[in-house]
């Protein structure tokens, strides 16, 4: 499987994660444990596959400032979007933003 196909697959997983999250937030209370577990597993798979994709790209591509900047910006936007959806409490938002920046930098 080529890198663009992997990137499209990861993008579809992100959309699926966001879609199931919105569906769960609009479904009312009490939430089904099965649906929450499926949503969390999809999100975990998305994070793992994204990490694998970036790792492979960084091994084979000459890392330059633009690529590094784009990676930091995408990680920051992901954390910010999660915060805007009120998924993360404010304290973990700052922690995750710092951690993502340090991990990519």
- Would you list the domain boundaries of the chain? 1-61, 62-105
Confidence of residue 24 (pLDDT cuts 50, 70, 90): confident
Rounded to whole angstroms, the maximal C-alpha distance in the chain is 49
pTM: 0.56
Q: What angle do CA 21, 24, 26 make, to 5 degrees?
A: 110
Confidence of residue 89 (pLDDT cuts 50, 70, 90): low
Residue 91 pLDDT? 60
**What tens digit of pLDDT does each residue of 33-72 get?**
888 888 889 888 888 888 888 777 777 766 676 677 777 7
62 Cα distance to chain centroid: 23
Q: What angle do CA 105, 21, 37 make, to 5 degrees?
A: 95
């Amino acid at each position: 499987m080529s890198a663009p196909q992997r990137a499209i697959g990861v993008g579809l997983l992100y959309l699926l994660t966001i879609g199931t999250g919105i569906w769960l937030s609009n479904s009312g209370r009490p939430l089904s444990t099965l649906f929450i577990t499926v949503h969390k597993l999809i999100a975990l798979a998305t994070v793992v596959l994204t990490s694998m994709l970036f790792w492979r790209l960084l091994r084979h591509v000459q890392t330059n400032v633009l690529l590094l900047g784009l990676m930091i910006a995408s990680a920051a936007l992901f954390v910010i979007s999660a915060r805007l959806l009120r998924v993360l409490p404010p304290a973990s938002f700052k922690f995750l933003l710092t951690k993502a920046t340090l991990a990519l930098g």
